[in-house]
Amino acid sequence: MSSPFPYKPAPRQDDPPYQQGEPVAIFIPCYMDQFYPEIGESMVRILERQGVNLVFPPEQTCCGQPAFNSGYWDESRPVIRQFCKVFAPYRWIVCPSGSCTAMCRVFFPHVDPSEEVLRVSRRVIEFSEFLVDILGVTDTGASFPHKVAMHIGCHGRRELGVFDHPMKLLQSVRGLTYCELPNMEECCGFGGTFSVKMPGTSLAMGQSKKENIVRSGAEYVVSGDVSCLMHIGGILQRDPATRHIRFLHLAEVLDSRI
């Protein structure tokens, strides 16, 4: 169920329309690059199967979100400018994280409303948005015969309005049994530095999410935001009773074949 109260999706620059063969840059968030490389690999395979011409600008580092969310905008500004310099040549910048995409598209202008930053900021697009809205793909030919619960990260859902996109993609996966998460719209408690600045509250929210995952009966928790999953997964793994529940990024599910 998407929200009856639509928030206000940040403007996205979709014009001129995507042309087949046009270079598409990929932005792999720093924690994903280092801890979950297989997600980026899955995304590359899915997009290349659709004939997308992918480029990975090797000078890329981070979107600046950790410092920004902690209030250190002056420290995040050079990182944001570095991002915009690296990605300036590209019309399409695809990122497999709702949260990092929201940082680029929604929060870059808070820190630096300059023309150079605005131009790049609006071109950053979340992976499932790119598949559904730009490529018009809802079926990636995937097959995943398992019970799956979906967790939609709050930043993607509320700042970008990304909700229907991952749901549509999941629906077309063969053999997949969808398990509705009770209280799906409630935050998992990660919240970036919130998770270590107010760990008690963050963990209490994570525990509720864990209980709801167990209640849903899912074997896998899938999300477009692996930062939430790092937190939820860490909690699931800590508890012997929930250790069997695995977590995957949406791209890994869409890339799976029997």
Partner 1 sequence: MSDHASHLDGAAFLKNENRGLYEPSPRFENLANACDYSSKNNMAIAAAVPGFQDWREAAHQIKKYSIANLDKLLVQFESQMKARGVEVLFAEDAAAANRMVLDIARQHNVQSVVKGKSMVTEEMELNHVLEDAGIRPIETDLGEYIVQLARQRPIHLVTPALHFSAAEVGKLFQEKLGEPYSAEHAALTAIARKHLRAEYLAAGMGVSGCNFAVADSGTVVIIENEGNAGLSTATPPVHVVTVGIEKLIPRIDYLPLFLNLLARSGTGQKLTTYTHLIHGPAAGKKLYVIFLDNGRTKVLQDPQAWQSLFCIRCGACLNACPVYRRVGGWSYGWVYPGPIGSVLTPHLVGIDKAGKLPFASSLCGACGEVCPVKIDIPHQLVHLRYRAVNEPSPMNSPLERLTWRLWAWAMGGPRRYGLAMWAVRLGVRMAKFLPWHPGKLGAWTRGRNLPRVPSHSFRSWWQKRNSEKGRP
User: By CB under 8 A, how many residues form the interface with partner 1?
Assistant: 76
Q: Should residue 14 be labelled a site residue for partner 1 when binding is judged by CB under 8 A?
A: no
Question: In the complex, what is the shortest distance from the CB of residue 145 to partner 1, in angstroms, rounded to a whole number?
Answer: 25
**Residue list 85-124, contact with partner 1 (CB under 8 A):** 107, 110
Query: Which of 12, 24, 25, 28 touches partner 1 by CB under 8 A?
Result: 28
Taking CA 148 as the corner, what is the angle to CA 145 and CA 153, rounded to the nearest 5 degrees?
A: 140
28 C-beta neighbours (distance < 10 Å), count: 22
Tokens of 243: 């250790």
- Among 46, 42, 50, residue whose Cα is nearest residue 22: 50
According to DSSP, the residues that pair with 221 across neighbouring strands are 149, 247
Shortest CB 23 distance to partner 1, Å: 13
Burial of 148 (0-12, 13-18, 19+ CB in 10 A): buried
Site string for partner 1, 52-71 (x = CB under 8 A): ----x-xxxxx-x-xxxxxx
Check binding of 187 to partner 1 (CB under 8 A): yes
Complex with partner 1: residue 51 or 58, whichever CB lies closer:
58
Backbone angles phi, psi at 238, to 5 degrees: -70, -30
- Pair of tokens at residue 124: 């950053």
Nearer to partner 1, 55 or 138 (CB): 55
Q: Using CB under 8 A, which of 140, 191, 223, 249 touches partner 1? A: 191
How far is the C-alpha of 188 from the C-alpha of 73, rounded, in Å? 25
Given 183, 211, 217, 219, the residue binding partner 1 (CB under 8 A): 183
Cα 138–143–147 angle (5° rounding)? Answer: 100
User: Which of positions 202-241 make contact with partner 1 (CB under 8 A)?
Assistant: 202-208, 230-231, 233-235, 237-238
5 near partner 1, judged by CB under 8 A: yes
Under the binding rule (CB under 8 A), the answer on residue 196 touching partner 1 is yes
